[in-house]
């Protein structure tokens, strides 16, 4: 049976485990998550907040992104296993994550 590797072609990390297409990813509870909340400047100097290191399915990540966008009243997207929220609303996002029970770390700026 030929399994197709997902995303990574080669890694020098001896502890690296390949993910295969169709393989289920394990989901951590909100309290076990260790999210990183980063601030970044995008095109034309617009500020965005990037939430990294979410461990779970893409549907759960989209659901969290939707909650954050609705409560902040801004736009955003989920791409490349990151939640991208438009605008400089990092403090508000961190409050929402705290209320939802997520562990997070403020990164940068």
Task: Assess if residue 84 is contained within a domain.
Answer: yes
Domains in the chain, number:
1
Give the Cα separation of 17 and 79 in Å (integer). 22
Contact indicator for 97, 104 with CB cutoff of 8 Å: yes
Its pTM stands at 0.72
Per-residue pLDDT for 4 more than 80?
no
Task: Assess if residue 24 is contained within a domain.
Answer: no
Query: Which of 4-8, 57-61, 85-89 is the least confident region?
Result: 4-8
In the structure, what pLDDT confidence band is assigned to residue 56 with cuts at 50, 70 and 90? confident
Mapped onto helix, strand or coil, the DSSP state of residue 37 is strand
Task: Assess if residue 14 is contained within a domain.
Answer: no
Give the Cα separation of 57 and 24 in Å (integer). 8
**60 is in which domain, residue-wise?**
30-107
Task: Assess if residue 15 is contained within a domain.
Answer: no
From 47, 82, 32, select the one nearest 61 (Cα to Cα). 82
Could you tell me if residue 70 is left (phi over 0), alpha (psi between -120 and 50 degrees) or otherwise beta? Answer: alpha
Task: Assess if residue 45 is contained within a domain.
Answer: yes
Task: Assess if residue 13 is contained within a domain.
Answer: no
Task: Assess if residue 48 is contained within a domain.
Answer: yes
The enclosing domain of 102 has a CATH number of 3.30.780.10
What's the pLDDT tens digit per position in 7-53? 566 667 777 766 665 545 567 776 778 889 999 887 788 899 999 98
Task: Assess if residue 5 is contained within a domain.
Answer: no
């Amino acid at each position: 049976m030929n399994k197709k590797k997902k995303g990574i072609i080669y890694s020098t990390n001896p502890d690296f485990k390949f993910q295969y297409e169709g393989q289920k990813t394990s989901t951590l509870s909100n309290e076990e998550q260790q999210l990183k909340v980063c601030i970044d400047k995008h095109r034309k100097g617009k500020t965005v907040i990037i939430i990294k290191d979410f461990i779970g399915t893409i549907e759960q990540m989209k659901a969290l992104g939707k909650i954050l966008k609705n409560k902040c009243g801004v736009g955003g997207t989920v791409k490349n296993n990151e939640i991208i929220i438009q605008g400089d609303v990092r403090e508000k996002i961190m409050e929402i994550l705290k209320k939802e029970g997520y562990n997070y770390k403020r990164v940068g700026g």
